[in-house]
């Protein structure tokens, strides 16, 4: 049952990560259009800057949980790699529960309120002549950090299963491929 829950949580991370990866396509297209419009036609757009930071931010934010699933985040592991899987599981559980989760819960709470307030007030970006409403990008932050919290729960559960001997530690290379 726990393994199914882990797989379900991780499927959300993979799906959101997939969306984040595909956001690169409209980002690249909009930046190419901007460069051509600016340098070939001497007619820069008034929306490229905001599209750029919103799409790039979406890409990075939506990739956070997937990166955690793939064990791709930077870690100081010169000692971590020298200890056994059960000690690593203890360190991971402690780090996730006492350091990461409180921050994620606090951040999600604040970001949700920020996005809702932005939606109801009709807040605009104020960054360019385009001046779009900003709540969709704020909603991206909420979704991204919520999915990161869900992936953190999956990591806690995996560490618990390793600690109790119910599964063996998955060993991956630096690209997330299982060894």
Q: What is the pLDDT of residues 112-140, one digit of tens each?
A: 999 999 999 999 999 888 999 999 999 99
Q: Measuring CA to CA, how many Å separate 64 from each of 14, 57, 80, 99?
A: 10, 11, 22, 17
Helices 135-163 and 48-69: crossing angle in degrees, nearest 10, is 10
Confidence (pTM): 0.90
Q: What percent of the chain has pLDDT over 70?
A: 94
Residue with the bigger pLDDT between 24 and 169: it is: 24
Q: Measuring CA to CA, how many Å separate 8 from each of 1, 30, 165?
A: 11, 34, 21
C-beta of residue 49 within 8 angstroms of C-beta of residue 127: yes
For residue 61, what pLDDT band results from cuts at 50, 70 and 90?
very high
Q: Quote the pLDDT of residue 176.
A: 52
């Amino acid at each position: 049952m726990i393994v199914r829950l882990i797989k379900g949580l991780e499927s959300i991370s993979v799906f959101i990560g997939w969306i984040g990866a595909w956001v690169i396509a409209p980002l690249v297209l909009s930046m190419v259009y901007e460069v051509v419009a600016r340098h070939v036609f001497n007619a820069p757009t008034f929306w490229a800057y905001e599209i750029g930071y919103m799409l790039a931010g979406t890409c990075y934010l939506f990739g956070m949980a997937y990166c955690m699933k793939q064990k791709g985040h930077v870690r100081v592991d010169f000692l971590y790699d020298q200890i056994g899987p059960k000690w690593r599981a203890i360190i991971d559980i402690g780090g996730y529960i006492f350091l990461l989760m409180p921050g994620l819960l606090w951040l999600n709470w604040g970001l949700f309120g920020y996005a809702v307030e932005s939606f109801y007030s009709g807040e605009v970006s104020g960054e360019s002549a385009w001046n779009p409403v900003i709540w969709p990008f704020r909603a991206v932050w909420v979704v991204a950090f919520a999915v990161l919290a869900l992936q953190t729960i999956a990591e806690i559960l995996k560490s618990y299963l390793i600690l109790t001997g119910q599964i063996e530690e998955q060993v991956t290379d630096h690209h997330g491929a299982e060894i």
